[in-house]
């Protein structure tokens, strides 16, 4: 168990690949959108890039001019919202973890590179809205992860001390955002990235799954 404050601990979560099973749908939506613009990119090539803002993924995969990148991203977002957003389900252990942390008086926050609108849609659909004090999307503040701006904003909204807080995520973007915001405990969740990459980005704890995360955060 991590040595968090018993008075007012705060847990900040990434969303995609951390609390919800959404990565494959994101990759499929991107693959189909890119195909419409004559780019043949495999799902396996897209998956390791998820975690960055998706407009940056478009830029990396296409090397197009800014206006064309914006056009592709807009099409991707429309397809994703239309065909995949409502299919998102919680990862195993997510409901139990969130409920138990909430009942243990943790302040809970989401910091994601999804748009705030889409993150809120997911949180509402999964009946988690009352559990999270703040939801920060890639467009809530000016700079998305790995910049710490969104994490600092979430900490302030939770009236949280970074030394009494934990950031849980599955990518190097999450670890960097937490580390650069001064968050003391950084839990890297295995799945989309391996332990070596997460530790290099700042993770000081590695979890195989959300059950492991719960054991780290709550007493038996």
Q: How far is 42 from 32, CA to CA, in rounded Å?
A: 10
Same domain, 99 and 63: no
CATH number of the domain enclosing 200: 3.40.50.1000
Question: How much is the pLDDT for 6?
Answer: 61
For residues 74-90, b (16+ Cβ closer than 10 Å) or e, as one string?
A: ebbbebbeeebbeebeb
Express each pLDDT in 191-213 by its tens digit.
999 999 999 999 999 999 999 99
Q: Is 202 left (phi over 0), alpha (psi -120 to 50) or beta?
A: left
User: How confident is the model over 36-71, as pLDDT tens digits?
Assistant: 999 999 999 999 999 999 999 999 999 999 999 999
What local confidence, expressed as pLDDT, does residue 8 receive?
A: 78
* For residue 145, pLDDT beyond 80: yes
- 131 and 208 together in one domain: yes
pLDDT in tens, 4-16: 766 679 999 999 9
Chain-centre distance for alpha carbon 59: 20
| 122 and 179 part of one domain | yes
CATH number for 36:
1.10.150.240
Mean per-residue pLDDT, 121-144: 97
With pLDDT > 90 as the criterion, what percentage of the chain qualifies? 95
Structural domain for 143, as ranges: 10-22+89-217
73 and 107 assigned to the same domain = no
Is there a single domain that holds both residue 72 and residue 61? Answer: yes
- pLDDT of 1 over the 80 cut: no
Task: Please state the domain count of the chain.
Answer: 2
Do 63 and 49 lie in one domain? The reply is yes
**Mean of the per-residue pLDDT values of the chain:** 96
Residue 3 in domain: no
Q: What tens digit of pLDDT does each residue of 83-107 get?
A: 999 999 999 999 999 999 999 999 9
Q: Is the pLDDT of residue 177 over 80?
A: yes
Domain boundary at 86, 104, 119, which? 86
Same domain, 80 and 110: no
Give CA–CA dist 85/48, Å, rounded. Answer: 20
Q: What pLDDT shows up at residue 4?
A: 73
């Amino acid at each position: 168990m991590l040595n968090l404050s018993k008075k007012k601990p705060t847990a900040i979560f990434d969303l995609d690949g951390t609390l919800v099973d959404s990565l494959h749908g994101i990759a499929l939506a991107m693959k189909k959108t890119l195909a419409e613009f004559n780019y043949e990119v495999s799902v396996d090539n897209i998956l390791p890039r998820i975690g960055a803002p998706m407009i940056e993924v478009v830029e990396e995969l296409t090397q197009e001019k800014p206006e064309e990148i914006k056009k592709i991203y807009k099409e991707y977002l429309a397809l994703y919202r239309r065909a995949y957003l409502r299919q998102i389900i919680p990862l195993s252990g997510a409901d139990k973890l969130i409920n138990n942390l909430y009942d243990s008086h943790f302040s809970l926050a989401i910091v994601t590179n999804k748009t705030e609108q889409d993150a809120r849609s997911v949180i509402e659909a999964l009946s988690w809205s009352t559990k999270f004090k703040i939801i920060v999307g890639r467009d809530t503040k000016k700079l998305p992860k790995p910049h710490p701006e969104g994490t600092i904003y979430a900490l302030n909204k939770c009236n949280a001390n970074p030394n009494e807080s934990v950031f849980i995520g599955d990518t190097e973007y999450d670890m960097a955002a937490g580390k650069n915001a001064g968050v003391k405990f950084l839990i890297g969740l295995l799945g989309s990235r391996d332990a070596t990459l997460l530790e290099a980005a700042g993770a000081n704890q590695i979890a195989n799954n959300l059950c492991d995360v719960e054991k780290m955060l709550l007493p038996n």
